[in-house]
Amino acid sequence: MTSVINNLSSLNLIPCRSPFDSVMGERCYQSIVSVDTFTDFIVEAQADGMLNECNLRENDRYSRLLRTYLFRSMAVIHAVIDLRAGIVHLIVYSLVTNEITEFEAEYFICQIRQNLDRY
């Protein structure tokens, strides 16, 4: 898990308490970064083959973009992108031992979106 977080260090993640319970041994982190910093991270991680975007693209009633990514099949990154403000609110769940399956990733994404106002 430490190596996953080290690779995400440019995002300045801090540990947080998850608003929902899960038994998968995950760790929750969050951060607020500029759109430029996030874009640089996305471009570099995709070029290195460490990041894949999920097909769950949405926008909310505040015209923010909701995007999700799988980082090295070990972490789910949920990004709330506010282009008007120029910031990205990140919520990251990282598993300690095993890889995140597609179903587990969908579970985290659904839980994050249901509890978005609690982060």
Q: Give the domains, in start order, of the chain with CATH numbers.
A: 2-118 (3.30.160)
- pTM of the shown model: 0.82
pLDDT-based confidence at residue 3 (cuts at 50, 70, 90): very low
Question: Which one has a higher pLDDT value, 58 or 87?
Answer: 87
**For 9-43, how does the pLDDT look when each residue is reduced to its tens digit (9 = 90+)?**
889 999 998 888 876 778 899 999 999 999 999 99
Q: Which range scores top for mean pLDDT: 29-33, 51-55, 71-75, 94-98?
A: 29-33
DSSP string, the chain: -HHHHHHTGGG--EE---SS--SS-EEEEEEEEEHHHHHHHHHHHHHTT-EEE-S--EE-TTS-EEEEEEETTTEEEEEEEETTTTEEEEEEEEESSSPPPHHHHHHHHHHHHHTGGG-
- Give the percent of the chain with pLDDT over 90: 36
